[in-house]
C-alpha cells in the first residue's frame, strides 16, 4: 500500500461538531479531496457517529483514515472501524 502525504487531520470531536471533513484519498490512482459527512448509526449502546461518503474508496484508504481520525467510516464498498473498536466505543461522543 502506497503511503499518502501526511496531513494534519482534525480530531474526532472537531469533525463531529462541524458535521463534515475534507480528506485527501486516492481514488482510481488519483489523489483527491473528498468530503465525508457525519451520520448517526444505532447500536445497543445508543447512537454513535460515523463518517460517510457515497463513493467507492479503496479499502486501504478507509482503514488509514479510520485509524488516524479514530472514527468509523462507511463508503459504498464497505464499512471500517478503528482497530479493536466497536460502535459502543463511540456512543459517548454524541452525548452532551
Q: Please write the tens of the pLDDT for every residue from 31-53.
A: 889 999 999 999 888 899 999 99
- The stretch 62-85 carries a mean pLDDT of 94
The 10 Å CB-count burial string (b at 16+, else e) for 49-78 is bbbbbeeebbeebbbbbbeebbbbbbbeee
Phi-psi region of 28 (alpha: psi -120 to 50; beta: other; left: phi over 0): left
| CA separation for the pair 6, 41 (Å, rounded) | 29
- The secondary structure element, H or E, covering residue 80 is strand 78-80
Q: Which is more confidently placed, 54 or 7?
A: 54
> CB of 28 within 8 A of CB of 77?
no
Residues 74-86: tens digit of each pLDDT: 999 999 999 999 9
Q: What percent of the chain has pLDDT over 70?
A: 92
Which pLDDT value is given to residue 3?
Answer: 45
Amino acid at each position: 500500500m502506497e503511503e499518502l502525504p501526511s496531513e494534519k487531520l482534525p480530531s474526532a470531536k472537531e469533525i463531529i461538531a462541524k458535521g463534515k471533513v475534507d480528506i485527501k484519498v486516492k481514488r482510481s490512482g488519483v489523489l483527491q479531496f473528498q468530503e465525508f459527512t457525519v451520520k448517526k448509526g444505532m447500536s445497543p449502546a445508543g447512537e454513535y457517529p460515523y463518517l460517510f461518503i457515497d463513493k467507492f474508496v479503496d479499502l486501504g484508504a478507509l482503514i488509514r483514515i479510520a485509524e488516524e481520525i479514530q472514527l468509523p467510516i462507511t463508503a459504498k464498498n464497505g464499512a471500517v472501524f478503528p482497530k479493536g473498536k466497536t460502535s459502543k466505543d463511540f456512543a459517548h461522543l454524541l452525548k452532551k
